[in-house]
Structure 1
Amino acid sequence: MKKVLLLAVPLLLALLAGLYQGAYACIGHWLYANATDLEASIYGFSEERVNIGDMELALYRNHNPGKPAIVMLHGFSADKDVWPRFAKHFVDDYQVIIPDLAGHGDTGFKPGWDYGMPAQAARVMALLDALDIGQAHIIGNSMGGFLTAVIALDYPQRTLSATMVDPAGTRFPQPSDMFRMLEQGINPFLIHNQAEFQRFYPMTMAQPPFLPNVVLAAVGNKYIARRDELQTIFAGFHSSPALDERLPELSVPAMLWWGDQDRLLHVSAVEVWQAGVPQLQTHIFAGIGHMPMVEIPARSARIYREFLQGL
């Protein structure tokens, strides 16, 4: 009997530990899925799905008919939830549209979709058509910054202004931490376990907003679950033609932001953009990483508002 009890105790402890981990994961995923939507609704955004023909795009939108439109585009592996704390500063004076791009967020992923920048740009235009919006200011981060520039270049008549935030899409005179990893055959976005996520997450921001550990663990689990999808999307958008040769064609009012502590895309690309677009307004944020609109939402929103009001 004593031997049976000795065997039963570790089994019971293992079962309890498993139940605890399962409950911990469930709480984290619930918070991750719902807290950001609740916060966005407090700021005046509704969740919607809009049919653009070949898919339905999920998005946040405030209803402000007759006001100028702003479209906010997230980066690779992110989603619309990176924007609301920045976007709340514009809900009174603008129509704000924040889509989950194809392959991301609530829009979802399909292996057959084209994840290149020209296809994603055409989808943003189809979204504006579906919402009966002729022209819009476009602002995008990282992959979304690359996409913002492609929209401004391919659809200048529909682009009131273009703001690129730590954008991909050009050469980088100096390699970032991410590019050094890619040269070694390691893509930091393709996460296999929580330890890898804990190394990756600090690369995304120098001053991240507070998130409980239970939520961070849920985010890490989502990266792990989506690894194959992210690999497909990464290959799609990295196959898009680079912007370097086209930058002189950028004719719409344009602004460039970069965090000088960006570990994913090195700030040295600023000189490439400035050489290609002499009229570009540029802001380099000291002590900030890859996502200024998340790290310093109020401060960056003031700069963006001043830019829009000066047009």
Structure 2
Amino acid sequence: MNEQQLERMRTGKGFVAALDQSGGSTPKALLQYGVAEDSYTDDEGMFTAVHTMRTRIIQSAAFDSKFILGAILFENTMDREIESKPTADYLWEEKGVVPFLKVDQGLDVQENGVQVMKPMPNLDRLLARAVDKRIFGTKMRSVIHEANTEGIKQVAEQQFEYGKRIFAAGLIPIIEPEVNILSEDREESERILKEEIVRQLAKLHPDVRIMLKLSIPSVDGFYSDLMQDPHVVRVVALSGGYPQKEANERLARNPGLIASFSRALAEGLSFGQTEADFDRTLQRSVEAIYAASIT
């Protein structure tokens, strides 16, 4: 594990850029960017198009380690290059940004009010490749739709079991049990989830380190105590579907919680923009998300 990267993630000021749209969400991300589905004919064309988009973001002067601590990549992005360098190496060596990798294979069907992750039979092989590619950490996502105690317990147990395997492989896991912001009993879901996270943290070996990626809570400051747990490197927040402005406003009311935004980060970016317009738009987003993350 890269100790310099660990210290940056533990104490640095800034946020984590989520550039990890996968096969299912890539067409939507490209459409938001102004690239229609009829502009590519197969998965290879789609992934090439989204890598071009991500490369443009990463190479922008606005994508600066002054504001951005880390970036989460999709597996296909990890396997590609930027300026003849593996993407993770480019992020760290050229930008000073810590590279993470999305490792989950998507969500299972909803049951007990939640969607756990699909099985990951090839996880160990993927983790070995990530280490070889000089990835620092991983991310994996589950979703909680209802305040179902049994379902939320299943989410937490699955996330932490995989998290322990990931840490044993030499990587820092980002555990992401997202609470659906449209849930009618969202606040109760957050309460149950926090109890389960505390329970799981208490069972970890003293040496294990993780990160948490959580929905911006209904109650301001609700996750502040989790930030003090010795196992927790950092607690980051997903935008969860909020527009950037609202996500930033909610985030700023939670001291210590930093952003890990995807759609909110790319808001306003377009394939057809000039480089100057693209950079200005991204700069405004980066600075606004950064400001909300350091309150």
Give TM-score scaled by structure 2 length: 0.37
Which structure shows the bigger proportion of residues in helix conformation? 1
Give TM-score scaled by structure 1 length: 0.36
| Structure number, greater radius of gyration | 1
